[in-house]
Amino acid sequence: MNDSTIAFRAKEQLGKFLGKVFTHFSRPKQKFLADMLYGIQASGDTQLSSIMRAINDDPAMRHAVEKRLSRNVSDEDIGDEVDKAILAEGSRHVRDDSLILVDPTEIRKEFGLRMEHVTMVRDASRSSKEGREVLVHGYHGCMAVACQNGRRKTVPLALKLWSSRAPGHLGENDEVVKLITTIMAATGGKGTIVYDRGGDRPAFYRAFIENGWDFIVRMTGRNVLSWHGLHEIHWLARQCTMRHHHHVDFDSHGKECSVQISFGAMPVRLPMHPEKELHMVVVKGFGNDPMMLLTSLPVNGSFESMWRVVEGYLTRWRIEETIRFVKQAYGFENIRVLSYRGIRNMASIVLATAYFASAWLGRHVKREVLAEHLKSLSQRLGKVPEFANYAIADGLKRAFTRFGKWCRKIIDPEPEPTENDLLEFLPGFRDLFAADIL
């Protein structure tokens, strides 16, 4: 498949994605989303001026195109509609044993002082580097993806931005609980919620336990009920017997690391929910202090039941990779719209763009073949890593900008391929099996 054919197929898949996922949208909204998704992918940026230049090469029309994009991006309903459509499509990939990875984030707008409801947010990267709390202007956010335990492929489910200064804002807990509630309603309660230290809050535990959702949360410091009394978790962790050992290889900031860990578990209960039996899995080996994971999953002392919890938490790094990918590949922090509604809508549109690159491509036999060609088109000097979203995004950018002009085309949804369709698509595949097996 030559480069021009790859570009044509990629644009065709974008049209099919819009026609299937947003089939209930009006044609004007579908066309607007087509321009935005193509423009963000082709320019690698969320600035409307960059998107306009990617979709339009007529200098006389550029001002009119930019005004049209600006007007539509501030539409009252389009952000919520995009969120619902992506979540409905993404929830189809969530199974009972899937992980729902949730992590807070932020976008920094240090010089966007005139942006509506801009507030102060913690700059996580600078705070970790400088060893102190660094606050800058920006917006709070949260992202959620689905992933299988131990795997690297993620399915974006939700991406929200908000401001603590916006009217009607009730706090971060309220925003995150609403996001998780929406996701679990769409999945029918399937999946296990995985949250880092920020999830160790009574408001989150209340929502998890009262709704019967499974969860894995890293604990920071609180008292729990165990051994017929109230005990501090760090003291309990020192009493825990490390029954199992395992060798773990992982990547830390581009450096391959290898550690030997040991882990054990004990039953505990939360004082605010004494009726619910939970388990605290204690992991030693990642640092000087043990890591304590509170879970509602059944833990019976076997290696498999404990390792499921430990591996589930270690898989949580995929959400951080996905957030970093969204910020770097699509310039998520370069948003230049002034209205608060437009900022929140841009987050929904970036979510749809990320879903197309990371979940739509590669989730079907034909699309997986196209994804492999896009990886090669990205012209990576080294081996394409297992987390291949960057390579696919680079391949799409190259295909969209260098081979042919943007010709907006929304393709109506087509029926799911049958077994015979797949066999016809793969020449010689039919001969590998006996006729009676097929």
Q: Which residue ranges make up each domain of the chain?
A: 3-75+363-421, 82-320
Q: Is 354 in contact with 154 (CB distance < 8 Å)?
A: no
The whole-number average pLDDT for the span 122-139 is 85
pLDDT at 294 over 90: yes
What does the pLDDT read at residue 419? 53
436 or 360, higher pLDDT: 360
The whole-number average pLDDT for the span 299-304 is 90
At residue 264 the predicted structure's pLDDT band, cuts being 50, 70 and 90, is: very high
The whole-number average pLDDT for the span 227-239 is 89
pLDDT at 125 over 60: yes
Out of 1.10.3720.10, 3.90.870.20, 3.90.350.10, 3.40.1190.20, which CATH number does the structure's domain 82-320 have? 3.90.350.10
The whole-number average pLDDT for the span 206-220 is 96
pLDDT at 386 over 90: no
The whole-number average pLDDT for the span 336-357 is 94
At residue 56 the predicted structure's pLDDT band, cuts being 50, 70 and 90, is: confident
pLDDT at 47 over 50: yes
pLDDT at 251 over 70: no
The whole-number average pLDDT for the span 104-119 is 91
SS (H, E, C) the chain: CCHHHHHHHHHHHHHHHHHHHCCCCCHHHHHHHHHHHHHHHHHCCCCHHHHHHHHCCCHHHHHHHHHHHHHHHCCCCHHHHHHHHHHHHHHHHCCCCEEEEEEEEEEECCCCCCCCCCEEEECHHHHHHHCCCCEEEEEEEEEEEEEECCCCCEEEEEEEEECCCCCCCCCHHHHHHHHHHHHHHHHCCCCEEEECHHHCCHHHHHHHHHHCCEEEEECCCCEEEECCEEEEHHHHHHHCCCCEEEEEEEEECCEEEEEEEEEEEEEEEECCEEEEEEEEEEEECCCCCCEEEEECCCCCCCHHHHHHHHHHHHCCHHHHHHHHHHHHHHCHHHCCCCCHHHHHHHHHHHHHHHHHHHHHCCCCHHHHHHHHHHHHHCCCCCCCCCCCHHHHHHHHHHHHHHCCCCCCCCCCCCCCCCHHHHHHHCCCCHHHCCCCCC
128 or 84, higher pLDDT: 84
Triad 215, 218, 221: Cα angle to 5° = 125
Q: Is 4 in contact with 290 (CB distance < 8 Å)?
A: no
What does the pLDDT read at residue 366? 53
The whole-number average pLDDT for the span 222-232 is 88
What does the pLDDT read at residue 218? 96
One-letter identity of residue 278: L
The whole-number average pLDDT for the span 395-408 is 77
Torsion sign over Cα 431, 432, 435, 438? negative
At residue 433 the predicted structure's pLDDT band, cuts being 50, 70 and 90, is: very low
Report the chain's mean pLDDT, rounded to a whole number.
85
- The residue among 112, 138, 167 whose CA lies nearest residue 338 is 112
What does the pLDDT read at residue 411? 77
- Reported as half-sphere exposure (CB side, CA atoms, 13 A), residue 48 has a value of 22
What does the pLDDT read at residue 250? 67
What does the pLDDT read at residue 373? 59
CA 46 to chain CA centroid, nearest Å: 18
Which residues does 112 contact at the CB level (< 8 Å), separation at least 6? 118, 137, 138
What does the pLDDT read at residue 384? 47
- The residue among 157, 216, 152 whose CA lies nearest residue 185 is 157
pLDDT at 196 over 80: yes
pTM of the model: 0.87
pLDDT at 432 over 60: no
pLDDT at 365 over 60: no
- The residue among 380, 429, 424, 377 whose CA lies nearest residue 398 is 377
The whole-number average pLDDT for the span 54-75 is 87
